[in-house]
Amino acid sequence: MWLPVLSLIIGLFLGYISELRIPPEYSNYLSIAVLAALDTLFGGIRAQLQGTFEDKVFISGFFFNILLAAALAYLGVHLGIDLYLAAIFAFGVRLFNNIAVIRRLIISKWNDNRKKA
Amino acid sequence: MKMNRQYMLAFVALVLGMMLSVQFQTANNPIERDTRDIWELRADLEEEKKRQQMLNEEIRKNEDLLHQYSSKGQESANEAMEQALADLKKQAGLTEISGQGITITIEPFNEGLVGGDTPVPHLYPDMLRRLINELNRYDALEMSIDGQRVVSRTPIREVNGSIYVNNEPLSSFPIEINVLTDDSKKLHQKIIASPAIEDFIRENFYVEAAVSDQIMLPAYTEPLRVKYMKQVKEDS
């Protein structure tokens, strides 16, 4: 468990010291990509807790979701429709769902442990 | 298998962390594009060079002062300190000062000349502020408005229809602005053609500027409130 947390911190640190900044017109894409990545990560945690985790699904979902979201946003910009809102909505709803399921799973696990003890 | 999964999660977390912090930085301090052309760059460079020179001079002056403080005896150190204090007071505008300069007189247009239906001219504090800024741009050294010395903290406000400078109401027209400068003729020519003066004319004021060899500016008499400076604690 500590390795992903550590690498998250390392990633934050790397991004911070690299002083990398993207032009404002592309910040929409990055924000969607971040959302997609968060969604994938929480989906992975949920699958892990439910015992249905599959490596290939996880890693392909990570990249595919990011690319799909960015492509949708790009298409939206060129069509003049705020299509990125669709991605934000979809990922947002899924994020909440995933977190709710994770919460339930953790609570039920905790309850089981207490009953055993 | 388990280890592999850990690495994968770690990789995803790493990418996520990087994206998060880049997005965070972009949102908080967006890139400001430098759109200056070569002439503006040259002008800015010139400006910076001047600033550097000024700072160097200031450093040298302060080093001299420090040297004076430390090298000689108590008597002369006191003398140097008093000298420095007097210099600072002069810089802050707390002393009377005289020299060559120009006198600007502002008064309403003579109503008899233009007919009775001209509106009564109204003086706005912004006009005075703009005039002061322009005078400063044309190398004015010190100035006073209607007998009130203009220092860095001088407020110019409009209260109930009358203009207050240094919290003192301006007397009735004509209003006299005295300006000290090194080259009074040049300042005179520049101020006659300045947009600030045109603003006064647009508001139906009659503005006259005259070069004068000897102008006396009064001292700033209000207490100077220092809000953001603190005494340096002595160490070493």
Domain contains B9: no
Whether the pLDDT of residue B17 is over 70: the answer is yes
CB contact under 8 A, A11 and B13: yes
What does the domain layout of chain A look like in residue ranges? 24-116
Do residues B78 and B169 both lie within one domain? no
Confirm whether B58 is domain-assigned.
yes
- On whether both B66 and B163 belong to a single domain, the answer is no
The pLDDT of residue B221 is 81
Domain contains B1: no
Q: Whole-model pTM? A: 0.47
**pLDDT mean for each 10 residues of chain A (117 residues):** 83 86 81 87 86 85 87 86 84 91 91 87
Q: How confident is the model at residue B217 (pLDDT cuts 50, 70, 90)?
A: confident
Task: Give every strand in the sheet of B156-159, ordered side by side.
Answer: B156-159, B162-165, B168-169
* Euclidean distance between CA atoms B63 and B61, whole angstroms: 5
Q: Is residue B142 part of a domain?
A: yes
- Would you call B19 and A10 a contact, using CB atoms and an 8 Å cutoff? no
Whole-number pLDDT of residue B116:
59
- Residue B30 lies inside a defined structural domain of this protein: no
At a CB cut-off of 8 Å and minimum separation 6, what does A76 contact?
Answer: A82, A83, A84, A85, A86
Pair B101, B213 in one domain: yes
Which residue spans within chain B are E strands per DSSP?
A: 97-108, 140-145, 148-150, 156-159, 162-165, 168-169, 175-181, 205-217
Which chain A residue shows the shortest CA-CA distance from B3?
A: A3
A62 contact B CB<8A: yes
Give the tens place of pLDDT for each residue, B141-170: 888 888 888 888 888 888 887 888 888 888
B20 contacts in chain A (CB < 8 Å): 11-12, 15, 34
Which of A8, A13, A21 minimises the CB distance to B31?
A21
CB contact under 8 A, B21 and A16: yes
Q: What pLDDT is recorded for position B43? A: 92
* Nearest residue to B167 (alpha-carbon basis) of B152, B150, B151, B154: B154
For residue B31, give the nearest of A3, A23, A38 by CB distance.
A23
> Is B2 within the bounds of a domain?
no
Length of chain B: 236
- Sheet hosting strand B140-145, strand order edge to edge: B148-150, B140-145, B175-181, B97-108, B205-217
Q: Is residue B3 very low, low, confident or very high in pLDDT (cuts 50, 70, 90)?
A: low
At B117, the pLDDT band (50, 70, 90 cuts) reads low
B216-223: average pLDDT: 82
- The answer, yes or no, to whether ipTM is higher than 0.90 is no
Residues near A64 by Cβ (< 8 Å), separated by ≥ 6?
none
Q: Quick one: pLDDT band at residue B2, thresholds 50, 70, 90?
A: low
Calculate how close chain B gets to A16, using CA atoms only, in Å: 6
Six token digits for residue B229? 């400076």
Same domain? B190 vs B146: yes
Q: Are strands B175-181 and B140-145 parallel, antiparallel or unpaired?
A: antiparallel
Residues B192-217, mean pLDDT to the nearest whole number? 84
DSSP chain A: -HHHHHHHHHHHHHHHHTT----GGGHHHHHHHHHHHHHHHHHHHHHHHHT---HHHHHHHHHHHHHHHHHHHHHHHHHTS-THHHHHHHHHHHHHHHHHHHHHHHHHHHHHHHHH-
**Chain B residues contacting A, CB < 8 Å?**
4-27, 29-31
d(CA B221, CA B225): 12
Based on the fold, state whether residues B54 and B158 are members of the same structural domain.
no
Say if the Cβ atoms of A37 and B15 lie within 8 Å: yes
Please tell me the predicted confidence (pLDDT) of residue A51.
84
pLDDT for B198 equals 85
Q: Domain containing B112: what range? A: 97-217
Backbone angles phi, psi at B181, to 5 degrees: -155, 165
Number of folded domains in chain B? 2
Q: Is residue B24 part of a domain?
A: no
Q: With an 8 Å Cβ cutoff, are B12 and A44 in contact?
A: yes
Nearest to B125 by CA among B93, B90, B167, B88: B167
Q: Which residue of A has its CA nearest to B1?
A: A55
Treating both helix axes as pointing N-terminal to C-terminal, what angle do B195-202 and B184-192 enclose, rounded to 10 degrees?
A: 50
**Chain B interface, best mutation among A12, A39, A42, A52, by max B CB count within 10 A:** A12
Q: Determine, for residues A37 and B12 on separate chains, whether the beta-carbon distance falls below 8 Å.
A: yes
Same domain? For B108 and B177 the reply is yes
Position B234 in a domain: no
B42: pLDDT confidence band, cut at 50, 70 and 90?
very high
CATH number of the domain residue B170 falls in: 3.30.70.1880
Q: How confident is the model at residue B115 (pLDDT cuts 50, 70, 90)?
A: low
Taking the C-alpha atoms of residue B46 and residue A9, their distance in angstroms, rounded to an integer, is 45
**Chain A neighbors of B29, CB-CB under 8 A:** 21
- Final residue before a domain boundary, out of B32, B62, B86: B86
